[in-house]
Amino acid sequence: MKIIDKPEFTTLIDEKISSEPRDVVGVQDDGEKYVFDELETADDLALDYDVTMLSPKKYIMPQRETYLEYQKSNGDYEWRAKTNPEGKVIVGIHPYDLVAIEQLDKIFIDTFKDEPYRAKRENSLLIGVNMQKASETAFAGSMGTATTDSGYDLLLTELGDRYAIEIGTLEGKEFLAPAETRTARSEEIEEVNRIEEEDIPDLFENELEFSPDELPTVLEENYDNMEFWEDYSENCVSCGTCNLVCPTCCCFSVEMTRDLDGKGGKQTRRWDGCLLEDFAAVAGDENFREEKAERHRHRLMRKGRYIYERYGDIACIGCGRCTSECVPNVADPCDIYNKLKKEMTANAQ
Ligand code: SF4
Ligand code: SF4
């Protein structure tokens, strides 16, 4: 573990902003919310934030992305992959968002070999920061994602006038190399451990009342509990916001558009959301999840059961973004899971 004084860290980031070929982005206060955005100066960093509006997923899996182009030439069509390999230096990622990116890596890199995702992910440098605040809707403490020992190139922990830095990769080490740092003393290492074990778990007001390991079973047992799903989804307006702000939601829709002259076109993908009414609509006027209750059940099943069964991960990392952005206040997975657990216990008696 290394120690860097805060002014030295600011100087390092400012130097990277002017010298890095990649964009340097980081958490900033835009006046209303915390957001990840391009940094003009390291002074704009707000590393003591609670939660950002969107997660850094948006840099690796952009909201809209063209990945295929075609041109008509000599009576035939020429197709060209249009991979954007541009990565970013991303400063200030909370551990739960690092965990979310690791989950996406399993899906897009290890399983689907998705080249646009892989290129941006592998060309990005992730600088994490241990939480100093939590939003009132977050429950990462009980999901085991409030701290992490993987998924970052560098991980900062605030220690007053300095940061402790854990180095996760060789690239992280090289990024840090121009700065003046020193090796952490044993009491500084102990302080970081104490912050991770005592202070960070104490930040959360919201919590899952049982182990997340039980979630797949709790959900399976409640799959046919339609009364619950109908009650709970009654006030949902199917806006899809809970999907769009979620760091682990990764469904996308594909569109093919043709140029007006008919000589070429492109294929674009954009974020989609399973809470939207037409998400499961198919040809023939069929919709596999026509009812709100079915769409809600699907969202929660996917977070706590389906992804677990396929990849071994609980795909809700407890950031609380869906809860805070849902206008009718019906998206809180923590509340839903706690209620489902109570339903399961009551049915067993
Ligand atoms: S649960 Fe809330 S955020 Fe999600 S679709 Fe329904 S109203 Fe929108
Ligand atoms: S379901 Fe909600 S709390 Fe869970 S990861 Fe997604 S946005 Fe965060």
Q: What is the pLDDT of residues 83-97, one digit of tens each?
A: 889 999 999 999 999
Q: Give the CA distances from residue 305 to residues 83, 297, 341, in Å, rounded to whole numbers and listed in that order.
A: 32, 11, 14
Identify whether residues 129 and 176 lie together within a single domain: yes
Boundary residue ending a domain (144, 174, 203): 203
Residue with tokens 């390991």: 213
Which residues have any ligand 2 atom within 6 Å of their CB? 245-248, 303, 316-322, 333
Element (H, E) at 176: helix 170-176
Identify whether residues 16 and 34 lie together within a single domain: yes
Determine which residue's CA is closest to atom 4 belonging to ligand 1.
242
Identify whether residues 20 and 142 lie together within a single domain: yes
CB neighbour class for 123 (10 Å; exposed up to 12, middle 13-18, buried from 19) = middle
pLDDT band per the 50, 70, 90 thresholds, residue 290: confident
Q: Which domain holds residue 228?
A: 212-251+273-348
Name the residue of 102, 207, 303 to mutate for ligand 2: max ligand atoms within 8 A of Cβ: 303
Q: Give per-residue pLDDT as tens, 230-277.
A: 999 999 999 999 999 999 999 999 999 999 988 899 999 999 999 999
Q: Tell me, yes or no, whether 75 lies in a domain.
A: no
Q: Tell me, yes or no, whether 259 lies in a domain.
A: no
Q: What is the pLDDT of residue 254?
A: 94
Element (H, E) at 156: strand 154-159
- Which ligand ends up closest to the CA of 300? 2
Q: Tell me, yes or no, whether 99 lies in a domain.
A: yes
Q: What is the average per-residue pLDDT within 337-349?
A: 89
Q: What is the pLDDT of residue 338?
A: 96
Q: Give per-residue pLDDT as tens, 95-119.
A: 999 999 999 999 999 999 999 999 9
Identify whether residues 42 and 109 lie together within a single domain: yes
* 249 ligand 1 Cβ < 6 A: no
Structural domains of the chain, count: 2
Q: Which atom of ligand 1 is nearest to the CA of 329?
A: 2
Identify whether residues 241 and 93 lie together within a single domain: no
Q: Tell me, yes or no, whether 192 lies in a domain.
A: yes
Identify whether residues 235 and 121 lie together within a single domain: no
Q: What is the pLDDT of residue 349?
A: 75
Q: What is the pLDDT of residue 146?
A: 98
Boundary residue ending a domain (168, 184, 203): 203
Determine which residue's CA is closest to atom 4 belonging to ligand 2.
316
Identify whether residues 17 and 149 lie together within a single domain: yes
* 240 ligand 1 Cβ < 6 A: yes
What whole-number distance in Å separates Cα of residue 169 and Cα of residue 304? 30
Q: Tell me, yes or no, whether 53 lies in a domain.
A: yes
Q: Tell me, yes or no, whether 229 lies in a domain.
A: yes
Q: Tell me, yes or no, whether 80 lies in a domain.
A: no
Q: What is the pTM of this model?
A: 0.95
Identify whether residues 109 and 235 lie together within a single domain: no
Boundary residue ending a domain (203, 229, 261): 203
- Which ligand ends up closest to the CA of 239? 1
Whether 24 shows a pLDDT value over 80: the answer reads yes
Identify whether residues 291 and 191 lie together within a single domain: no
Identify whether residues 136 and 283 lie together within a single domain: no
Nearest to 4 by CA among 182, 168, 130: 182
Sheet containing 162-167: order of strands = 34-38, 23-29, 88-93, 125-129, 154-159, 162-167, 2-5, 182-183
Percent of the chain predicted with pLDDT > 90: 90
What whole-number distance in Å separates Cα of residue 69 and Cα of residue 34? 35
- How far is the centre of ligand 2, averaged over its atoms, from the C-alpha of 255 (Å)? 27
Q: What is the pLDDT of residue 75?
A: 82
Identify whether residues 150 and 221 lie together within a single domain: no
Identify whether residues 195 and 319 lie together within a single domain: no
* 242 ligand 1 Cβ < 6 A: yes
What whole-number distance in Å separates Cα of residue 134 and Cα of residue 179? 30
pLDDT band per the 50, 70, 90 thresholds, residue 166: very high
Q: Tell me, yes or no, whether 233 lies in a domain.
A: yes
Q: Where is pLDDT greater, at 74 or 307?
A: 307
Determine which residue's CA is closest to atom 6 belonging to ligand 1.
236
